[in-house]
Chain A
């Protein structure tokens, strides 16, 4: 049997549905005349499981998993990793430092000169910091360094 995208999507829906049902043990279901906090999420879980089964049954119409193109995976992984690092550093180092590093790092990885990448990163992050804090009056994280 060829493994198809709907097999994966349907299987994931069934697993998530069952998992959330298991996590909802302490939420009261209530009664039809007074539904409890657990009724709505459990109803959706059942719906997800049914839809997951339906997808698995009629998966023949979907694309084989082997045909999915993953040539953008390295780009996605780099961007995800860099963004995760910037978010982790954000509360510690503040907006300007963490975002400068993110912008300069990504531009550098796109084979631009280190100096160009650094000027671009610092310039953009300082500009946006000024825009949000001074013009839009929306405070951004200052971090331990103070900006």
Chain B
């Protein structure tokens, strides 16, 4: 414990450096804007701004990019409450009661509860991350290739199980990503795979063109100008402070949302979306007045907003401690660390303590900054929504092109981005989620390497995944999840995932 405090103090000495504070602030500010603007999610925001971090050191780069991620969770609530448009997928649930509160003249209170709930949950998440990431990393140092293979199998199955779309659809998207990840030189034998004599494909397909194409351009393609609502409900800032009753009603939902969100954040999948849905369901179930939900229940704002923020912090635990991304956003953040020569994973704490602890400490500071940014400046952020979409979307396309080009100075990457944009558009039409594809692309090389190393280690004996204790436990959990999913399918039971799919479809 003493060691953790010493390390955290080291982190704060990094995080409080004026230049680091500036980049944390910049990340939080951009993140809030990304969250406010519909059509630009955190993934597109991070991917587009990734090249802007090339001139920075790894610590500042990851602090700024992470600021965009958790900042977008704060900003997403603003459009949900004021316009009934989720600026962010994880703010879908906030639309329901947040907008209803705004219509009753309590927009300021709803925004304040969302911001304070997000702050408490975010800080709680960082606190738990501080305590559990280092011991988890120490445990992960005992992992060999079979354990990593089993962990990745479990991760993919868990991702598919937690997804709101059907298990085969999610796994299919992950398989497409895994397949794209095989393009380029095979690291073990030097064979060229599917490069078709294009030199730029020798190093494989980058995550940035794929992520920017699927989530940035793809979103623009499926959003014609006529569908973007320009009407903004102006909040009355003098009513920003919630009443005593509203504070009381929000206290327990914030506490429950924080814990629930963090736990869900540890699991693979769209944790920040799932956590807000689960929190809403839990609050409604526990409420003495469930009939108020949908008509401006304070708990319907406080719970989901806290949960999605805690989940975005929780998602950093597997990334930092195990070197495994649990979602597309953490996958891009991992790519950012790798570009800066810092491999995330169990050795990060020991090999780059300044980066690890500086990053953790910056999240405490970032949450404070976001609270300060989101409440007094809410009027300013709302004005951003008044920029006509006809001017905004060409600008996003330009940043997609620039963002992708600057990574390698390659026009081939920009063509890949365009192809992925069209692919993303088609995936949306057919109800397929592109997020597992990005995840598959990132883990494909790690997965292949650990699988092949495991087989070489065991001289071709595949039972190696069932004879080592940690690998066996992970595999058994994966089998249990598959069995549960099959059972649910056979019984045609409507569980929370079906209801989540219905809510997402209705938005």
Q: Flag if A39 contacts B452 (CB, 8 Å).
A: yes
How many B residues are at the interface, by size bracket? 35 or more
* B175: contacting residue among A27, A44, A79, A136, CB under 8 A: A44
Taken together as a complex, chains A and B put the C-alpha atoms of A75 and B176 apart, in Å, by: 27
* A103: contacting residue among B217, B223, B394, B456, CB under 8 A: B394
Residues of B within 8 A of A87 (CB): 401, 411, 414-415, 418
Q: A130 to nearest B CB, angstroms?
A: 12
Name which residue of chain A comes closest to B178, CB basis: A44
1/0 per residue B124-166: CB within 8 Å of A?
0000000000000000000000000000000000000000001
Name which residue of chain B comes closest to A63, CB basis: B431
Taken together as a complex, chains A and B put the C-alpha atoms of A140 and B425 apart, in Å, by: 28
Name which residue of chain A comes closest to B189, CB basis: A37
A146 at the interface (CB under 8 A from B): no
Taken together as a complex, chains A and B put the C-alpha atoms of A136 and B464 apart, in Å, by: 49
Residues of B within 8 A of A8 (CB): 430
Q: A106 to nearest B CB, angstroms?
A: 4
Interface of A is mostly: helix
Q: B474 to nearest A CB, angstroms?
A: 19
Residues of B within 8 A of A6 (CB): 169
1/0 per residue A55-93: CB within 8 Å of B?
100100111000010111001100110011011001100
Of B14-22, B291-299, B309-317, B402-410, the one with at least 4 CB within 8 A of chain A: B402-410
Tell me the residues in window 90-132 of chain A with beta carbons closer than 8 Å to chain B beta carbons: 90-91, 95, 99, 102-103, 106-107, 110-112, 120, 124-125, 128, 132
Q: Flag if A103 contacts B395 (CB, 8 Å).
A: yes
Q: Flag if A40 contacts B452 (CB, 8 Å).
A: yes
1/0 per residue B46-70: CB within 8 Å of A?
0000011011000000000000000
Residues of B within 8 A of A32 (CB): 455, 460-462
Residues of A within 8 A of B421 (CB): 80, 83
Q: A34 to nearest B CB, angstroms?
A: 6
1/0 per residue B216-240: CB within 8 Å of A?
0100111111010000000000000
Residues of B within 8 A of A70 (CB): 429
Q: B256 to nearest A CB, angstroms?
A: 33
Given the interface pairs A87-B415, A110-B390, the reply to whether A27 lies near B193 with Cβ below 8 Å is yes
Residues of B within 8 A of A111 (CB): 390
Residues of A within 8 A of B189 (CB): 28, 36-37
B422 at the interface (CB under 8 A from A): yes
Residues of A within 8 A of B222 (CB): 72, 76
Taken together as a complex, chains A and B put the C-alpha atoms of A78 and B171 apart, in Å, by: 32
Taken together as a complex, chains A and B put the C-alpha atoms of A9 and B437 apart, in Å, by: 14
Q: Flag if B182 contacts A40 (CB, 8 Å).
A: yes
Nearest 3 CB-CB pairings of A with B:
A33-B460, A32-B460, A110-B390
Which A residues contact B (CB, under 8 angstroms)? 5-6, 8-9, 13, 16, 20, 23-24, 27-28, 31-41, 44-45, 47-48, 51-52, 54-55, 58, 61-63, 68, 70-72, 75-76, 79-80, 83-84, 86-87, 90-91, 95, 99, 102-103, 106-107, 110-112, 120, 124-125, 128, 132, 136-141
Which B residues contact A (CB, under 8 angstroms)? 51-52, 54-55, 166, 168-169, 171-172, 175-176, 178-179, 182, 186, 188-189, 191, 193-194, 217, 220-225, 227, 390-391, 393-395, 397-399, 401-402, 405-406, 409, 411, 414-415, 418, 421-422, 425, 429-432, 444, 447-448, 451-452, 455-456, 459-462, 489
